[in-house]
Amino acid sequence: MVFGFDPTSYDAVLFVDHNKVVKEMLLTEFEAVLDGVVGEPDFANSTAHAVYLKVNRRLDIIGAVFFLINFDVKGNADRRWNIPLSQMVETAAFGAELNGVKVRIASHSQCQIPWHQQDLWEPDLSVGSNTLKILATSIQNNRLGLLVDDVVDQPPVLAEVMTSVASKAPGVSVKAIDNLDALADKEDREKERYNMAQNIKKQRTYIASLKSLHEQEMAAQRKLYSKDREMFLLANKKLQEQIEAIELKYCDALINIENKQSAFDQQCREYEQRLERMMDQRGIDHRSLRVQFNKDFQAKLIEQTAEIESKLEMREVEVYYREEQINRLKSEVLELKAYAKQLESQSVASEISSLVENGVYFVISQPGLGPLSIEAEDLIRFNSEPSTYIAERLGVDLDTYEAWLAHIKLPLCGGDRSGESCGEHLEPITTPQEFVVGISDYCAAHQQGALAAVNGH
C-alpha cells in the first residue's frame, strides 16, 4: 500500500505546455507546492496548465481533471487555489476510452461543480487528437516510480489462509499461528490507516466546498454593499451640491438686499433733502409731509421685509429637509455595514457548527505546551485574541505568558554584562505557571542582582 492513496490506484499531477508534458509529480508533492514548502521557478509569473490523473496499478489512466493554477514572480503557487480534485474526478462523466479503459474527464466544458468551471481548461479530445495518448505515454514511462501489478487480485481473506494452513499442516507450530496473528494485526492497521486517509480526504473536500460557498456569499454581500455605498455617495454628493447652491443663492440674496437697502436709504435721504428745499421755498409744512412719508416708507419697508423673510424661511426649510435626508442615508449605510458584519459572523459560526457536527475537533499546539483543545464557541475569540485566550486558559496574565513564550523559544539570559546582552543559556522553565518575569529569564548572577535591586541593596 502507498500511504495516503487508494490501495488500487495512484494520484499524479502533470504539467502540460503546447501538448507536451513538461513536469510530473505525485499528488503529495503537488500538495507541498500548494502549502508553499517548495516553489516552481519554471512556472514563475505564469498560469500553468496542469492535469490531475487517477491511475490504476497497471498504469492505466482512469480519471483526469484539466485545471489551471497561477504562480507568482517567485514561483510560489496561488494560496487561494482550492479546487477539490478528488471530488471532481469522482463526479466527472465518462469520456473517451483509452487502452480499453473508460476515463472520467473534468474540463472547462465538462464540469460538475459550476463555480470551479473558470478554473479548468479545455483540452483537444477530438478523434484525431493525441492529448490523452501523450498523458498515457508519460505515465507508462513511469518516471514517478509507481509500483506496477500485471494483474490486480484481491488478497485472500486471512481466515481462509489460516484454514488452508491448518488443513495442509495439522501440526502447525504456535510460532506460525503467532505470525498469522501479527499479519492480521498489520492488515487491520493498514485498513484503519486507509480509512483515516479517506476520511481526511472527504473532510478536506467538504471544507473546500464550504469555503467556496462562503467566499461566494461574502462576494455577493460585498458587491451589494459596494453598490449601496456607491449609490449613497452619489446621492450625498448631489445633496451637498444642492446645499452649496442654496447657500450661494442665500448669500447672493443677502448681498442684493443690503445693496438695495443702501440705495433705497440714499434715495430717501436725497428725496427728503429735495422736499425740504421745495417746502422751504413755497412755505409748505414739510414736517407733516415728512411724518406721512415716513409712515408710508415704514409700511413699504415692513412689506418688503416680510416678503424677504418668507423666502428665507422657505430656504431654511429646504436646507433642513436636505440635512434630514443626509442623516437618514448615513443611518442606512451604518445599518448595511452592521448587517454585512452580522452575515459574516453568522456564516463563520455556521461553518464551525457544521465542522463540529461532522466530527472535526480544533486543537492547537503551542511550543512547550503540547496540544491544547479549543471549544467551538471559543474559536472566534481565539482567532481575534489568541495570546489572551491561551493565557486565560493557563491561568496566567498576558505579560507573563508572552515573556514565558519568548523564554521557551530561546532560553537565554536577558541581563546586561559590560553594556552587552549576557546571552547565557538557561534551563528552560517548562510551564508558564512556574515562570517569574525578571528571575526565570536571568542567569544565577543576574538573578542575585535583580533580587538585590528589589530588596533595596
Cell of 97: 476510452
> In the structure, what pLDDT confidence band is assigned to residue 456 with cuts at 50, 70 and 90?
low
- pLDDT more than 70, % of the chain: 81
Domain that includes residue 63, residue range: 1-153
C-alpha cell, 19: 501538448
Q: Tell which of 138, 153, 168 closes a domain.
A: 153
**C-alpha to C-alpha distance for 335 and 329, rounded to whole angstroms:** 10
Residue 179 located in a structural domain: no
Contact call for residues 413 and 423 (beta carbons, < 8 A):
yes
User: Does residue 455 carry a pLDDT above 70?
Assistant: no
Give domain status of residue 113, yes or no: yes
Residues 350, 306, single domain; the answer is yes
Interatomic CA distance for residues 279 and 372, integer angstroms: 110
Half-sphere exposure of 272 (CA within 13 A, CB side): 14
Whether 404 and 286 share a structural domain: no
Considering 200-209, 261-270, 372-381, the range whose residues carry the highest mean pLDDT is 261-270
**Does residue 412 sit in helix, strand or coil?**
strand
Domain identity same for 126 and 27:
yes
Residue 396 lies in a domain: yes
Residue 49 in 3-state DSSP?
strand
Instruction: Work out the number of other CB atoms within 10 angstroms of the CB of residue 143.
Output: 10
Residue 152: the pLDDT is 41
Q: What is the largest distance, in Å, between two alpha-carbon atoms of the chain? A: 164
Percent of the chain clearing pLDDT 90 (strictly above): 20
Q: What is the pLDDT of residue 155?
A: 47
Angular region, 18: left φ>0, alpha ψ -120 to 50, beta rest: left
How many folded domains does the chain comprise?
3
Average pLDDT of span 283-288: 63
Are residues 328 and 379 both part of a single domain?
Answer: no
DSSP H/E element including 103 = strand 101-106
Looking only at the bridges linking them, the beta strands covering 370-374 and 416-417 are unpaired
Given 292, 323, 355, the domain boundary residue is 355
Q: In terms of C-beta distances under 8 Å and separation of at least 24 residues, what long-range contacts does 245-254 make, across chains too?
A: 246/315, 246/318, 246/319, 246/322, 249/315, 250/312, 250/315, 253/308, 253/311, 253/312
pLDDT at 72: 94
Q: Are residues 14 and 59 in the same domain?
A: yes
Band of pLDDT at residue 425, cut at 50, 70 and 90? confident
In this predicted structure, what is the pLDDT of residue 157? Answer: 46
Inside any domain, residue 336: yes
pLDDT at 290 over 80: no
Contact 404, 435 (CB under 8 A): yes
Distance CA 381, CA 366 (A): 17
Same domain, residue pair 127 and 4: yes
3-class secondary-structure state, position 74: coil
Q: What is the pLDDT of residue 147?
A: 85
Q: Which three cell numbers stand for residue 45?
A: 509569473
For the stretch 54-96, pLDDT in tens is 999 899 999 999 999 999 999 999 999 999 999 999 989 888 8
Quick one: pLDDT band at residue 49, thresholds 50, 70, 90?
very high
Give a yes or no: residue 361 inside a domain: no
User: Whole-prediction pTM value?
Assistant: 0.36
Q: What is the predicted pLDDT for the residue at 138?
A: 94
**The pLDDT of residue 8:** 74
Which ranges of 358-443 would DSSP assign to H, the alpha helix?
379-384, 386-394, 398-409
Identity at 74, one-letter amino acid code: K
Beta bridge partners of 25: 13
- Residue (of 173, 150, 159, 135) closest to 54 by Cα position: 135
Q: Does 230 reside within a domain?
A: yes
Tell me the three state secondary structure of residue 76: coil
Torsion of CA 56, 59, 63, 68, to 10 degrees: 130
Which grid coordinates are listed for 396? 496566567
Query: Which among 355, 384, 409 is the end of a domain?
Result: 355
User: By mean pLDDT, which of 73-87, 231-245, 277-291 is the weakest?
Assistant: 277-291
Residue 174: predicted pLDDT: 54
pLDDT of residue 19: 87
373: pLDDT strictly greater than 50: yes
Which one-letter DSSP state was computed for residue 308?
H
How confident is the model at residue 62, as a pLDDT?
94
Q: At what angle do helices 286-357 and 174-282 cross, to 10 degrees?
A: 180
172-217 pLDDT tens trace: 455 666 667 777 777 777 777 777 776 776 677 667 667 766 777 7
pLDDT of 171 over the 70 cut: no
C-alpha–C-alpha distance, residues 135 and 137, integer Å? 5
Q: Between these two residues, 188 and 455, which has the higher pLDDT value?
A: 188
Q: Are 376 and 318 contained in the same domain?
A: no
48 is written with which cell numbers?
A: 500553468
Confidence check: pLDDT of 347 > 80: no
User: Are residues 343 and 374 located together in one domain of the fold?
Assistant: no
Terminal-to-terminal C-alpha distance of the chain? 70
| Residue bearing the bigger pLDDT, 287 or 31 | 31
Pair 404, 342 in one domain:
no
Handedness of CA 223, 227, 232, 233 (dihedral sign): positive
Q: What is the pLDDT of the chain when averaged over all its residues?
A: 80
DSSP alpha helices (H): ranges in 283-359? Answer: 286-357
pLDDT tens digits, residue range 291-321? Answer: 787 888 888 888 888 888 888 888 888 888 8
- 3-class DSSP state for residue 100? coil
161 is a domain residue: no
Q: Are 443 and 426 in contact (CB under 8 A)?
A: yes
Residues 305 and 409 in one domain: no
Q: What's the rounded Cα separation, in Å, for the pair 257 and 276?
A: 28
Please tell me what DSSP assigns to residue 427. Answer: P
- Whole-number pLDDT of residue 106: 94
Residues 1 and 138 in one domain: yes
Residue predicted with more confidence, 320 or 46: 46
Instruction: Report the distance separating Cα 392 and Cα 229, nearest Å.
Output: 40
- State yes or no: pLDDT of 4 exceeds 50: no
Q: Cα–Cα distance between 6 and 350 in angstroms, integer?
A: 32
378 shares its domain with 349: no
The sign of the torsion formed by the CA atoms of 360, 361, 364, 370 equals: negative
> Where residue 43 falls among pLDDT bands split at 50, 70, 90?
very high
The helix (H) or strand (E) run that includes residue 97 is strand 93-98
